[in-house]
Structure 1
């Protein structure tokens, strides 16, 4: 029994550590669920575009700037590994199936952007900032 438990834990650890090394199998279109801000149709015309490119344990920019009171369309592209995006202040969640979200930040400030899919040893430091001006 103890050998099975150790084997199962070892396999789980291998999958967790290998998550960043996985390539995306296929690109899927953004999901549309209606009124939730975290899963919406492609950006309305005139929306500010923010493209987050994720690779092993980092986003392509340390910060992204947008204007308050205007729609923002956030898109996730995984270059290396499998990553997600969470911007809790605006209820934005992007992952392997939802790649685009549109929301309207109404309050200026600095908000955390974090990887929402455990991607290995650097996952806890995979962060960026959304600056709403």
Structure 2
């Protein structure tokens, strides 16, 4: 019985650690955001939506914060450059993982919101965070 438990734990550990070794890419949005001074501001797309591209590597997103304008639609795209990651913005019901790597939402509430990795990706997973700043 103990051997079975140890085997199950070992297999679980292998799956958890190997998640960062997988590479999955998404198509970039039609018009990307611009980067200025360590922040990304949403670029305007054909439908008036702002675009944010989150690029994920092992245990970090490419920018510490992303800025958008309140009241506009925002299209978020996740690109995994290193490892397998997800992105979640709970306050706007955004969860990018698996086959869903792009989502559009209305940035209707001004403020600062957490962007977190939603896929357990190894030892630095809990620190994989960024900020979404919705400016009025």
- TM-score if structure 2 supplies the norm length? 0.82
Unaligned runs of 5+ in 2: 28-44
- C-alpha offsets along residues 36-82 of structure 1, whole Å, 9 cap, x if unaligned? xxxxxxx7611001000001000000000000001100000000010
Structure with the higher strand share, 1 or 2 = 2
Shift of residue 15, structure 1, vs aligned partner? 1.1
Alignment of 1:1-133 (within 5 A): 1-24=1-24, 45-133=47-135
Q: Name the stretch that deviates more: 110-119 or 14-23.
A: 14-23
Write out per-residue CA displacement over residues 93-112 of structure 1, whole angstroms, 9 at most, x where no aligned residue. Answer: 10121011111111210000
Q: Which runs of 5+ in 1 are unaligned?
A: 29-42
The runs of at least 4 consecutive aligned structure 1 residues that moved more than 4 Å come to none
Q: Aligned-residue CA RMSD in angstroms?
A: 1.5
Q: Give the Cα–Cα distance (whole angstroms) in 2 for the partners of residues 44 and 75 of structure 1.
A: 15
Equivalent-residue separation in structure 2 for 1:4 and 1:44 (angstroms):
56
Structure with the larger RCO, 1 or 2 (CA within 8 Å, 6+ apart): 1
SS of 1:121's equivalent in the other structure is coil
